Amino acid sequence: MAAPTSKMRDMFISHASEDKGAVERPLAELLKRHQLTVRLDSDELTMGDRLSEGMNAGLAHRRFGVVMGSPSFSSKSWPRLELDRLLTRELQQGRAILPPWPNIDQQLGHH
């Protein structure tokens, strides 16, 4: 497994893999333009890494979790597990969870 970084970063983006290109990467770039540090799983995980260990390391060294809720997010177990761990950490440590909901107006029929 790749050595986890001990450097604290600002954001962990919890998302479904289907939302990576359209949502996660553009949000990460926007946050980086505002001088925030962001964890991207594709930058930190390598072939053979244990996903649960990578997720735990990602959550442990981030100030905030950004939860990218979407229909894909709610239908997958890994994003829901990340959300559960973020909620537990928030209850225990007072950490903030930031909940943008991309395209939610279109999916609900609003314009």
Active-site residues, by number, are 82
Residues 35 and 94: their CA atoms lie apart, in Å, by: 23
Mind giving me the DSSP string for 40-67? -HHHH--TT--HHHHHHHHHHTEEEEEE
**Count of Cβ atoms closer than 10 Å to residue 28 Cβ:** 22
Question: Residues 63, 9: contact at Cβ < 8 Å?
Answer: yes
